[in-house]
Amino acid sequence: MQLTEKHKEYWQKNLRITGILLAMWFIVTFVEIWFARELNSINFIGPLGFYMSAQGSLIVYVLIIWFYARHMNKLDQEYGVHEGEDD
Amino acid sequence: MSQATQKQFYANLKKYYTFYTGGFITFVIIVGILEQMGVPNKILGYMFLFATILLYAGIGFMSKTAEVSEYYVAGRRVPALFNGMATGADWMSAASFIGMAGTLYLSGFDGLAFVMGWTGGYCLVALLIAPYLRKFGQFTIPDFLGTRYESNIPRLIGVLGAIICSFTYVIAQIYGVGIITSRFTGLEFGVGVFVGLAGILVCSFLGGMKAVTWTQVAQYIILIVAYMIPVVWLAAKNTGVPVPQIVAYTHGLPAVTALEKQFNDKTTPKGAAEESVRAIFRERAAAADAQLKGLEAGGAAFLAAEKQKLEAKVAELKAAAAPDVKAVEAAEKAVKDFPADPAKAKAAWTAAKNGANAKAAPVAAHAEPFSGSPEVSAKKKKNFLALVLCLMVGTASLPHILMRYYTTPSVKEARQSVFWSLFFIFLLYFTAPALGILAKREVYETVVGSSFAALPAWVSNWAAVDKTLMSIMDINKDGIVQLAEITLGGDLIVLATPEIAGLPYVISGLVAAGGLAAALSTADGLLLTIANALSHDVYYKMIDPNAPTVRRLAVSKGLLLVVAVLAAYVTSLKPGDILFLVGAAFSLAASGFFPALVCGVFWKRANTLGAILGMSFGLGVCMYYMYMTYPFFKVNAPLWWDIAPISSGLFGIPAGFIGVIIGSLISAPPSKEIQDFVDHVRYPNLEGDIDTSGH
């Protein structure tokens, strides 16, 4: 099985978007927790630090996964590595 | 399967489950009408219990199968949306459904580690694991490890890991089943366990993954409806807006914070009343402390002297002209409960001292992260971060969850299905913190300050039913309830919400049915994981690769039965700390599986030795740390870097990665076939692709 340049480019793009989304995941999780006390002095639907951990970060997680699925399914088409006929 | 039939299948599923939901709501309404007609609550509880278990058994019966791919992976035709619901039910256990909101009520911000950890982990599932596992497309997680690392040793370690973490987890679920059935029907705990078990078994026994999947979808619908109705009602009742996830922050939290300040400010009337109760608790703590010091100095002699004092008091009370019956009974009980030996006395008095000290302390602010002195605060922050990490990585490693992504028709649907999974889980998890706040406001505003003669109905009801969930005592004898006089068990919050919101008993029955659905669905998935690892990976792949289909399924079903009965037996012994068991399962899975799974896809150079070293280092370090530090094992070695034993994955995960890297680099790179295999899983479709799917 020989991979073409195009195939390698697909994988590079996949790695890049995975990296970017993981960085976002890291920020809304660990950076947010680290500064939770400080964030609480900002008021956004309640103290921001509490709000993020209880709800805000969760919304970002859902969006991250939604975006990844949409983005990758498009990328599959673009690089001709999608499965079967489209529905 | 052709596209057209799959589309038809999807359309039919939507139709069936719409009918099903309508039917279920009709059932609830009928039970509600029966309640109004005066049918007793106990009968209503039985109706919910047996109707839902029969329903699940019915779905299991209709999905019976004798086909290998249907039995192990539901025929790989579960559409993304439905796989999402099934994963949601598989994921949300009795602890999430009944315990979560209560944990948040009791620990405020610091409880949010579970909310974040049990949702954010799905980002790792989506980005690093699910699509690649689906492309690989066999039956179990050890399958992937065995094939990718060309050896039965990683497969076997995988089987062991899967059994250890699924078994610890399943015990917690069966325990939950027993609690719920016994509470709502009055059956004995042991009987409740076996009734629930029957429901689990009929389902997975007849139709394996296929039956479990369709039952889990049905269970998800029940559990989410049961969770939402009381909370929405409570929000609407208190604020007029039926969106608890918003009003909890706009109305609930400011009210709670304002009351916390009053309780802690001695110059306000509420603060002064609290202070008078706290003073009594400070005295009790000092008394317990004095007893502990006396015990240390005097040993057994001191203990005997103390007991004599109590006995003298009984005699004195009895000798009085008109003996106070209640006081005599209390004094006799004190003698009867007096610790038998110095070790027991030390444990009892230490617990009394800590309990009284906690009650004497000011109220912790609900929204404040890591409250306490700078050292305490830093320690809490560190442990919060470590716990979130372990729960997240553990989520992306638990075999019963990852297995679900084998069941979708394609890689594309596997990706979408992770989205639906988290979406359906999110619906419950972003409601739980809101419920915690709304319930706290109710207690702070309505219960505190009411008179003992006229307590809210739900408080006196629960205090009569179960002292561990609700106990309330007039400590300072002023006839008014103070916050420090209330002791709540976490599970109370979800169980009592329908009554707090003023809903009829039928909704309490619905909540019980929801909790039962949560526990049963998770137990189903876990038992199947254990039985499959043994029957598929050990029996079929390692012992008898030529076994005919009939025998493979027979072995799997036989094992399922054995494992289920064994789990029920262990549960009936009531092993200690359930929450620790669940947490341990996450740390173990994270340390054992995550490094080998991720490196298997993202690092072509990873090879057999790397996997073996990585998995055994990870599991080894994690288990070693738990053994050394968890009080149950009685070693009590000093903690590393103040990290609690529940987060031992913090050390296990890096150990696993280091193992994979060292092992791979000191041995030859994997063969060309394996490198091709890695490319195969990385691309959803390649020309001239190899085929790794079993059938």
- Inter-chain CB proximity B126 and A64 less than 8 Å: yes
**Any chain B CB within 8 A of the CB of A16?**
no
Judged by phi (left if over 0) then psi (alpha if -120 to 50, else beta), residue B535 lies in alpha
- Inter-chain CB proximity A50 and B369 less than 8 Å: yes
- Per-residue pLDDT tens digits for A4-30: 889 999 999 999 999 999 999 999 999
CA distances from B164 to B96, B314, B577 (A): 21, 52, 17
In a domain, A1, yes or no: no
Tell me the chain A residues in contact with residue B3 when contact means C-beta distances shorter than 8 Å. Answer: 84-85, 87
- What whole-number percentage of chain B has pLDDT above 90? 55
In a domain, A36, yes or no: yes
Tell me the chain B residues in contact with residue A51 when contact means C-beta distances shorter than 8 Å. Answer: 249
In a domain, A87, yes or no: no
**Parallel, antiparallel, or unpaired for β B486-488 and B470-472?**
antiparallel
Q: State the CB neighbour count (10 A cutoff) for residue B548.
A: 9
- What range defines the domain where residue A46 resides? 7-78
Structure tokens given for B578: 């359930």
- Per-residue pLDDT tens digits for B467-504: 888 889 898 889 999 999 999 888 889 988 998 888 89
- CA of B423 vs chain A CAs: smallest distance (Å): 6
The mean per-residue pLDDT over the stretch A39-49 comes to 90
- Inter-chain CB proximity B415 and A73 less than 8 Å: yes
**Any chain B CB within 8 A of the CB of A67?**
no
In a domain, A57, yes or no: yes
- CA of B66 vs chain A CAs: smallest distance (Å): 28
Rounded (5°) CA angle A22-B430-B416: 50
- Helices B649-665 and B578-602 pack at an angle, to 10 degrees, of 30
- CA of B397 vs chain A CAs: smallest distance (Å): 17
Q: Which residue has the tokens 């054995």?
A: B562
- Inter-chain CB proximity A33 and B381 less than 8 Å: yes
Q: Which residue has the tokens 């995988």?
A: B158
From the list B381, B419, B684, the residue facing A76 with the nearest CB is B684
- Inter-chain CB proximity A22 and B123 less than 8 Å: yes
Instruction: Give pLDDT, residue B693.
Output: 63
In a domain, A86, yes or no: no
Instruction: Give pLDDT, residue B258.
Output: 94
- Inter-chain CB proximity B369 and A37 less than 8 Å: yes
Interface test with A, best of B7, B81, B119, B123 (most A CBs within 10 A): B123
Tell me the chain B residues in contact with residue A58 when contact means C-beta distances shorter than 8 Å. Answer: 115-116, 119-120, 426, 429-430
From the list A30, A53, A82, the residue facing B109 with the nearest CB is A53
Positions of chain B with pLDDT under 70: 1-2, 575-578, 688, 693-695
Write the CB contacts of B83 (distance below 8 Å, at least 6 apart in sequence). B213, B404, B405, B407, B408, B413, B417, B420, B421
Q: State the CB neighbour count (10 A cutoff) for residue A19.
A: 11
Is residue B5 packed enough to be buried (19+ CB in 10 Å), middle (13-18) or exposed (0-12)?
A: exposed
Instruction: Give pLDDT, residue B576.
Output: 60
Write the CB contacts of B481 (distance below 8 Å, at least 6 apart in sequence). B447, B448, B449, B450, B451, B452, B455, B472, B474
In a domain, A17, yes or no: yes
- CA of A16 vs chain B CAs: smallest distance (Å): 11
Burial B522-541 (b: 16+ CB within 10 A, else e): bbbbbbbbbbbbbbbbbbbb
**Any chain B CB within 8 A of the CB of A19?**
no
> pLDDT tier at A87 (50, 70, 90 boundaries)?
very low
- CA of A77 vs chain B CAs: smallest distance (Å): 10
In a domain, A84, yes or no: no
Total residues found in chain A within this entry = 87
In a domain, A16, yes or no: yes
Size of interface A-B (CB pairs under 8 A): 152
Interface test with A, best of B257, B683, B693 (most A CBs within 10 A): B683
Minimal-distance CA residue of chain A relative to B247? A45
Minimal-distance CA residue of chain A relative to B386? A30
- Inter-chain CB proximity B116 and A7 less than 8 Å: no
Instruction: Give pLDDT, residue B234.
Output: 92
Instruction: Give pLDDT, residue B323.
Output: 77
Rounded (5°) CA angle B536-B692-B127: 95
Contact B204, B529 (CB under 8 A): no
- Inter-chain CB proximity A1 and B410 less than 8 Å: no
Structure tokens given for B690: 């190899």
Instruction: Give pLDDT, residue B695.
Output: 47
| Total domains in the fold of chain A | 1
